[in-house]
């Protein structure tokens, strides 16, 4: 038996206007939503709803009335009442208003968490808590150089978020970078850069690393990187699957065909590994939040369907992540006016999106050609005035 959430529509309704309400609810399943007339107003009882389909039906019915007509105002009041319910889950394209958070409820959660010790591996860190503010001359820069050396010029605790995708070491044709060295050498250099990233990251700041493991060589890079940060006492906040829907992988046979001998797995996704320095709660001004309620609900589900970058040839780079991916990361894990660092900035996607979304940026790359392309992209923003809302 369905359970329902009760919503009172704050608008007086006479019985002769119920035809307007009936015209709307004719299109809706009573198992999802229905209404009850209580003499001078209506109550809506709702379990789940395709909200955008509902909104479209309301708007289409409103077109039959003048804006001053009671029918128009009643329909608008119903829509506002339903939209006013901000606590819901998402399932199969519908908002779910009842029972969506039941599985999350753990009896006596706080006591049990304290007993288990949350993020036990990060206990006893000695991170300084005092942040340093960079001058205007140190912000909004594209810097040519070795990130390990460049970052040594910056003080401790001065950036809010590190968003990056390091070179893959898969043998790709990067500009001014040998991709495909011995793994020990690769990780030694990568972790030297990450050591500096940890140092310059503010207390409560975040590091987000986009990485694709080398499955053909059985190198779980995402696990190795996570282990590095955890050993440095950063808190592993989570792992996001970035599903790129690589259809070529889905329709190609790999490994020992139709045999348990040695099947080889193909993946249509990459990973985003997220870490926090010192504490998971980051302070910020409410007016500097730029993620909408719908975006928040969509992207806290840790599987993101974001199309890959399709124009890499135009930028002359073999492995770019798309602007949309960076936009979501920045909105979900940082505030406007925060300082965003990408130590492997490539042709500047992180820095471009930082500027578009009202954040400061520092982008570092060893390739002069890539840095010039990043500067060009940033300059074009000034010409087009392109900004995300």
Model confidence at 259: pLDDT above 50: yes
Could you report the per-residue pLDDT of 191-248, keeping only the tens digit for each?
999 999 999 999 999 999 999 877 667 889 999 999 999 999 999 999 999 988 766 5
Q: Same domain for 89 and 156? A: no
With tokens 């249509």, the residue in question is: 268
What percentage of the chain has pLDDT greater than the value 70?
A: 85
125 lies in a domain? no
116 lies in a domain? no
Note the pTM of the prediction, 2 decimals.
0.69
Choosing from 55, 83, 104, the residue where a domain stops is 104
Model confidence at 105: pLDDT above 90: no
Task: Please give the Cα distance from 228 to 186 (Å, whole number).
Answer: 14
- Parallel/antiparallel/unpaired status of strands 235-243 and 33-37: unpaired
Judged by average pLDDT, the poorest of 103-107, 176-180, 253-257, 352-356 is 176-180
Residue 299's Cβ-count burial label (10 Å; 0-12, 13-18, 19+) is middle
Q: Which pLDDT does position 174 carry in this prediction? A: 46
296 lies in a domain? yes
Q: Same domain for 72 and 140? A: no
Report residue 165's pLDDT band, with 50, 70 and 90 as the boundaries: very high
- Of these ranges, 169-173, 179-183, 191-195, 210-214, the one predicted with the greatest mean pLDDT is 191-195
Q: Same domain for 211 and 263? A: yes
Report residue 115's pLDDT band, with 50, 70 and 90 as the boundaries: low
Model confidence at 110: pLDDT above 70: no
What percentage of the chain has pLDDT greater than the value 90?
A: 58
Model confidence at 170: pLDDT above 90: no
Q: Same domain for 196 and 334? A: yes
Judged by average pLDDT, the poorest of 154-158, 175-179, 287-291, 332-336 is 175-179
Tokens, residue 181:
């060295």
Model confidence at 337: pLDDT above 50: yes
Task: Please give the Cα distance from 89 to 96 (Å, whole number).
Answer: 5
Q: Which pLDDT does position 116 carry in this prediction? A: 66
How distant is the alpha carbon of residue 169 from its chain centre? 25
Task: Please give the Cα distance from 9 to 7 (Å, whole number).
Answer: 6
In the chain, how many domains are there? 2
Model confidence at 113: pLDDT above 70: no
| Mean pLDDT score, 21-39 | 90
Q: What is the CATH number of the domain that holds 212?
A: 3.40.50.150
Report residue 250's pLDDT band, with 50, 70 and 90 as the boundaries: low
CA distances, 334 to each of 14, 236, 356 (Å): 49, 17, 14
> In which element (H, E) is residue 71 found?
helix 70-83
Domain of 342 in residue numbering reads as 133-384
Whether the Cβ atoms of residue 165 and residue 271 lie closer than 8 Å to each other: no
Model confidence at 182: pLDDT above 90: no
SS3 state at 385: coil
SS3 state at 304: strand
Mean pLDDT of the chain: 87
Q: How many CA atoms lie within 13 A of 140 on its CB side?
A: 11
Task: Please give the Cα distance from 151 to 193 (Å, whole number).
Answer: 8
Task: Please give the Cα distance from 187 to 202 (Å, whole number).
Answer: 24
- pLDDT: which is higher, 339 or 252: 339
Q: Same domain for 51 and 172? A: no
Whether the Cβ atoms of residue 244 and residue 307 lie closer than 8 Å to each other: yes
Q: With b meaning 16 or more CB within 10 Å and e meaning fewer, what string describes 59-74?
A: eebbeebeeeeebbbb
Q: Same domain for 293 and 341? A: yes
200 lies in a domain? yes
Model confidence at 249: pLDDT above 70: no
- The arrangement of strands across the sheet holding 94-96 comes to 48-49, 94-96, 89-91
Model confidence at 316: pLDDT above 60: no
Task: Please give the Cα distance from 236 to 64 (Å, whole number).
Answer: 54
| Mean pLDDT score, 317-344 | 91
Residue 182's Cβ-count burial label (10 Å; 0-12, 13-18, 19+) is exposed
Q: Which pLDDT does position 185 carry in this prediction? A: 87
Report residue 171's pLDDT band, with 50, 70 and 90 as the boundaries: very low
279 lies in a domain? yes
Q: Same domain for 209 and 330? A: yes
Could you report the per-residue pLDDT of 45-55, keeping only the tens digit for each?
999 999 999 99
Tokens, residue 266:
């193909």
Whether the Cβ atoms of residue 198 and residue 232 lie closer than 8 Å to each other: yes
Q: Which pLDDT does position 102 carry in this prediction? A: 67
| Mean pLDDT score, 137-148 | 96
Q: Which pLDDT does position 312 carry in this prediction? A: 61
Closest by CA position to 363, among listed 342, 380, 349: 342
42 lies in a domain? yes
Whether the Cβ atoms of residue 107 and residue 315 lie closer than 8 Å to each other: no
Q: Same domain for 138 and 95? A: no
């Amino acid at each position: 038996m369905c359970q329902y959430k009760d919503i009172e529509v704050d608008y007086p309704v006479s019985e002769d206007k119920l035809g307007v309400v009936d015209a709307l609810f004719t299109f809706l399943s009573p198992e999802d939503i229905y209404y009850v007339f209580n003499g001078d107003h209506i109550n809506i009882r709702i379990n789940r709803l395709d909200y955008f389909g509902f909104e479209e039906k309301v708007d289409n019915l409103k077109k039959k009335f003048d804006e001053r007509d009671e029918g128009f105002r009643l329909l608008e009041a119903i829509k506002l009442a339903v939209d006013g319910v901000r606590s819901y889950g998402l399932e199969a394209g519908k908002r779910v208003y009842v029972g969506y958070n039941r599985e999350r409820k753990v009896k006596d959660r706080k006591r049990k968490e304290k007993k288990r010790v949350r993020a036990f591996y990060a206990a006893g860190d000695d991170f300084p808590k005092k942040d340093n503010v960079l001058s205007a001359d140190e912000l909004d820069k594209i810097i040519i150089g070795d990130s390990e050396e460049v970052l040594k010029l910056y003080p401790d605790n001065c950036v809010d978020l590190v968003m990056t995708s390091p070179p893959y070491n898969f043998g790709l044709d990067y500009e001014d970078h040998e991709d495909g060295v011995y793994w020990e050498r690769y990780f030694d250099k990568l972790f030297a850069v990450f050591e500096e990233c940890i140092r310059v990251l503010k207390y409560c700041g975040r590091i987000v690393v986009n990485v694709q493991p080398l499955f053909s060589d059985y190198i779980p890079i995402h696990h190795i990187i996570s282990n590095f940060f955890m050993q440095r006492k950063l808190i592993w906040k989570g792992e996001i699957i970035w599903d790129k829907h690589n259809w070529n992988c889905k329709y190609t046979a790999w490994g020992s065909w139709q045999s348990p001998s040695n099947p080889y797995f193909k993946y249509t996704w990459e990973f985003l590994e997220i870490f926090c320095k010192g504490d998971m709660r980051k302070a910020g001004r409410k007016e500097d939040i730029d993620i909408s309620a719908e975006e928040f609900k969509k992207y806290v589900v840790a599987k993101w369907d974001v199309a890959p970058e399709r124009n890499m040839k135009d930028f002359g780079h073999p492995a770019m992540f798309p602007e949309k991916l960076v936009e979501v990361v920045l909105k979900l894990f940082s505030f406007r006016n925060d300082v965003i660092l990408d130590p492997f900035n490539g042709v500047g996607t992180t820095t471009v999106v930082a500027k578009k979304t009202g954040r400061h940026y520092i982008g570092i790359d060893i390739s002069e050609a890539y840095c010039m392309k990043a500067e060009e992209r940033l300059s074009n923003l000034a010409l087009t005035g392109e900004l995300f809302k």
